[in-house]
Structure 1
Amino acid sequence: MKKHFIYWILILLPVFSFGQIKSLEENTGQQPLIPTPKLALLKDVDIIFNTRMAFDNYFVDGNHTNSLFSMNQFRLEVKGKIHDKIFFRFRNRYTKIPDPNTADNINRSVDMAYLVFDVTPQAKFSFGKMIGDWGGYELLTNPIEILSYNTINNTADNFLVGAAFSFALEDKKNIFNIQVLNSRTKTFQDQYAANLPSGIELSEMPLVAVVNWKGHLFDNKLETTYSYSFFNDAKNAKGNYVSLGNKFKANKLVLYYDFQYSKEDLDRKFIVTNIIKSKYAYAAEDVSYVENWIRAEYMIRPKVNLLLTIMNSCAYWNGNPDTNHKSNLLKSYGVIPTIEYSPFSDINLKFYAGYIAKKNNYSNYAQNTFNAVDGTTGQISFGIIAPLLVL
């Protein structure tokens, strides 16, 4: 029986082989999944894996609490031209918990999904979910390069759905950008829920208007990104935000300085609200935040870069009903020394070691009235930073 079975295999094998060859020849003649004329578009499209992974060690008030490997950042980005006058950009963050309950009908893990139309060589129109052009270089820097954000950028909605119009002067050294965006990603109810003070009502047009100027001065040694933003968050609660970003370049040194001021009729950051919640069960009114952010980068060798980030933030509650109140509730500080080593000349991949030290100093009033407690946190990280261009 076994011998006859082998004979049948030897007889049928050429038949099956002929059928496979014929099928392969037929498939070869079919059109590819992506038509050949469309393949030319790929030369103008980039696919980037924005990645930061590290071995992180955490400390609270000087005591070690945890050590583990972390995928700190992974943001898939696809961008490029789909037409001579149409540019698109999409970036999704896979290291953020998706939240489908949004006011703009797009998941909060999506950073950007927008189109740019070239109206003229100097004017552009954009529509979709984009980064708020608040000004300041901390926010504009690729997130994988920022080990820790200052308070405002860490707590704000920085990616919003809306429209923008930008215009560059003929010398291309001055660019003006105007945006009209949704004022938040969460719905008004989700944002404030039961914490809404009495008398505050949802605006019929919860939008934010942003005006930004980007300048290049002194032979491009000094760059600026300044902005003013007006938030129409509620009928009787507005917000004003000023951000002044400066970048100075000199040989091997790059120096950044951001100043930010946010005045909010209704606390959008919830920093003050969380401080006072032991006594007041509603979102704080008439608050303000003032911040400074400095970052220095110095290339000591062709492959070795030293970085130092210094930041501070102050939170004020100007609307405190207590007549004996002190408006300043919190001053926080941060310092991030980092060293980077880039071993390859043909790929942007860096090994880094960094230390994040932060301290919260609550005012005596905040400590005595709301039981706020000073504290420090630390993080030592060893890892890899790489915006991997795969296409």
Structure 2
Amino acid sequence: MKKILLYLTVVMLPILTFGQIKTLEENTGQQPLIPTPKLALLKDVDVIFNTRMALDNYFVDGNFTNSAFSLNQLRLEMKGKIHDKIFFRFRNRYTKIADANTVDNTIRALDLAYLVFDVTPQAKFSFGKMVGDWGGYELLTNPIEILSYNTINNTAENFLVGASFSFALEDHKNIFDFQLLNSRNKTFQDQYATNLPPGIEISKMPLVAVGNWKGHLFDSKWETTYSYSFYNDAKNAKGNFVSLGNKFKANKLVLFYDFQYSNEDLDRKGVVTNIVKSKYAYAAEDVNYIDNWFRAEYLIRPKLNLLFTVMSSNAYWNGNPDPNKKSNLLNTYGIIPTIEFSPFSDINLKFYAGYIAKKNNYSTYAQNTFGVKDGTTGQISFGIIAPLLVL
């Protein structure tokens, strides 16, 4: 009898135990947070923390002012396919004040939030908040790689809500983009506050139209991103913007050159307005900005990269009512030498040391009339640049 009981115990115990475990799993088990069929979508989705952090040391007119650790850039980006013909991209900036007073109902810290629909293998349609396709490689470069922007890109509103249509020729070496966007993020009142000149009224359709050509020439050794943009920001106050971006590649050397020209009936950038505000109560009218941006990158070793950026910017006030006026008010110059070291071959993380030097040269007329003074600023930074791919 004992042998029979022992035999039944040995046989039945695993069966009873399995039944208990199965019952326990049914009672307490949960479905995964992401259902199994949805997991396949993740293979086409990237989650990236675009990061730049550094110890920054500041100088004004050659005198050291202070040092501070800074999280200069932190932009969370998610992008990928959610359908064979639908692509999405989202990027939010955590190092910018989240101003909700906008015309598109999004905070200004939101860079990108748009969908791309593949109409044909050569044609795409996009809708949402996107970067204005002004042209120029300074703006197209990942922001964590730009230690300091030139005047136009630094003061312009570059991320706007609208629609875009892109068409590529059969060889995909020439791509044409057309955008229709809101002309600004800020409300008209916020943009110009109480400084609006008499006779200027808000447009009922404050939009900007953009046409862009991206070319790949000479076996892609020379690439271009050229554009023309027309702003309809206010009645009797339009704007025209031309940008010519060039990229040259030769072995370990890459060269970039951007030329940008902005003609504004009403000063959108605010640089000229800030210069003349001691004498004039209104936003400046009929202003021009001309920017030149040059950058060279040379990979001297597989893990060591040298970069050198030179920039200049010129500001003109053609609408000055002074009969003795001089249109050119300000010339700004900047240089940014940088060295980058990439210690890892399996992750895009770089240690860098960079120096930003800028000089403001005001014309004699601007100094005598508006009381502005020349000055220099400097910044020495030691830090880390990393687009951290976490998924």
* Fold agreement, TM-score > 0.5: yes
Matched, 1:100 2:62: no
Question: Aligned equivalents of 1:107 and 1:87: distance in 2?
Answer: 22
User: Where in structure 1 do 4 or more consecutive aligned residues deviate above 6 Å?
Assistant: 20-23
The one-character-per-residue Cα deviations of 1:337-370 (angstroms, maximum 9, x if unpaired) are: 0000000000000000000000000000000000
Matched, 1:252 2:252: yes
Quote the residue 1:185 is aligned against. Answer: 185
Q: Give the AA of the match of 1:136.
A: G
Question: Aligned equivalents of 1:79 and 1:162: distance in 2?
Answer: 19
Change (3 A) 1:204 1:301: same
SS at structure 1 position matched to 2:343: coil
Alignment of 1:321-336 (within 5 A): 321-336=321-336
Q: What TM-score results when the alignment is normalised by the length of structure 2?
A: 0.94
Matched, 1:356 2:356: yes
Quote the residue 1:174 is aligned against. Answer: 174
Quote the residue 1:264 is aligned against. Answer: 264
Quote the residue 1:153 is aligned against. Answer: 153
Question: Aligned equivalents of 1:23 and 1:274: distance in 2?
Answer: 74
Q: CA deviation at 1:31?
A: 2.5
The one-character-per-residue Cα deviations of 1:245-274 (angstroms, maximum 9, x if unpaired) are: 000000000000000000000000000000
Question: Aligned equivalents of 1:146 and 1:73: distance in 2?
Answer: 10
The one-character-per-residue Cα deviations of 1:61-96 (angstroms, maximum 9, x if unpaired) are: 000111010000000000000000000000000000
Q: What TM-score results when the alignment is normalised by the length of structure 1?
A: 0.94
Question: Aligned equivalents of 1:246 and 1:103: distance in 2?
Answer: 33
Quote the residue 2:367 is aligned against. Answer: 367
Change (3 A) 1:221 1:28: farther
Quote the residue 2:313 is aligned against. Answer: 313
Q: CA deviation at 1:315?
A: 0.1
Quote the residue 2:294 is aligned against. Answer: 294
Q: CA deviation at 1:33?
A: 2.2
Q: Which moved more, 1:231-240 or 1:29-38?
A: 29-38
The one-character-per-residue Cα deviations of 1:188-247 (angstroms, maximum 9, x if unpaired) are: 011001000000000000000000000000000000000000000001100000000000
Q: Which moved more, 1:141-150 or 1:23-32?
A: 23-32
Question: How many pairs align?
Answer: 372
Question: Aligned equivalents of 2:372 and 2:274: distance in 1?
Answer: 10
Question: Aligned equivalents of 2:284 and 2:221: distance in 1?
Answer: 42
SS at structure 2 position matched to 1:195: coil
Question: Aligned equivalents of 1:370 and 1:187: distance in 2?
Answer: 29
Quote the residue 2:5 is aligned against. Answer: none
The one-character-per-residue Cα deviations of 1:128-160 (angstroms, maximum 9, x if unpaired) are: 000000000000000000000000000000000
Matched, 1:347 2:354: no
Question: Aligned equivalents of 1:55 and 1:221: distance in 2?
Answer: 36
Question: Aligned equivalents of 1:30 and 1:57: distance in 2?
Answer: 52
Quote the residue 2:31 is aligned against. Answer: 31
Question: Aligned equivalents of 1:30 and 1:374: distance in 2?
Answer: 67
Q: CA deviation at 1:35?
A: 1.3
Question: Aligned equivalents of 2:100 and 2:297: distance in 1?
Answer: 38
Q: Give the AA of the match of 1:259.
A: F
Question: Aligned equivalents of 2:140 and 2:122: distance in 1?
Answer: 21
Percent identity of equivalent pairs: 84
Q: CA deviation at 1:29?
A: 4.6
Change (3 A) 1:43 1:328: same
Q: CA deviation at 1:282?
A: 0.7
Quote the residue 1:165 is aligned against. Answer: 165
Q: Give the AA of the match of 1:170.
A: E
Question: Aligned equivalents of 1:390 and 1:190: distance in 2?
Answer: 38
Question: Aligned equivalents of 1:303 and 1:27: distance in 2?
Answer: 55
Quote the residue 2:137 is aligned against. Answer: 137
The one-character-per-residue Cα deviations of 1:299-323 (angstroms, maximum 9, x if unpaired) are: 0111000000000000000000001
Change (3 A) 1:24 1:153: farther
Q: CA deviation at 1:30?
A: 3.7
User: Alpha carbon RMSD of aligned pairs, Å?
Assistant: 1.2
Q: CA deviation at 1:25?
A: 1.6
Quote the residue 2:88 is aligned against. Answer: 88
The one-character-per-residue Cα deviations of 1:85-114 (angstroms, maximum 9, x if unpaired) are: 000000000000100110110010000000
Quote the residue 2:197 is aligned against. Answer: 197
Question: Aligned equivalents of 1:314 and 1:386: distance in 2?
Answer: 33
Matched, 1:124 2:124: yes
Change (3 A) 1:346 1:24: farther
Quote the residue 2:76 is aligned against. Answer: 76
Q: CA deviation at 1:32?
A: 1.9
Q: Give the AA of the match of 2:144.
A: I
Alignment of 1:6-45 (within 5 A): 25-26=25-26, 29-45=29-45
Q: CA deviation at 1:34?
A: 1.4
Question: Aligned equivalents of 1:270 and 1:312: distance in 2?
Answer: 17
Quote the residue 1:11 is aligned against. Answer: none
The one-character-per-residue Cα deviations of 1:37-68 (angstroms, maximum 9, x if unpaired) are: 11100000000000000000000000011101
SS at structure 1 position matched to 2:178: strand
Question: Aligned equivalents of 1:56 and 1:26: distance in 2?
Answer: 56
SS at structure 2 position matched to 1:204: strand
Q: Give the AA of the match of 1:98.
A: A
Question: Aligned equivalents of 1:130 and 1:66: distance in 2?
Answer: 36
Question: Aligned equivalents of 2:24 and 2:271: distance in 1?
Answer: 65
Gaps of 5+ in 1: 1-19
Quote the residue 1:55 is aligned against. Answer: 55
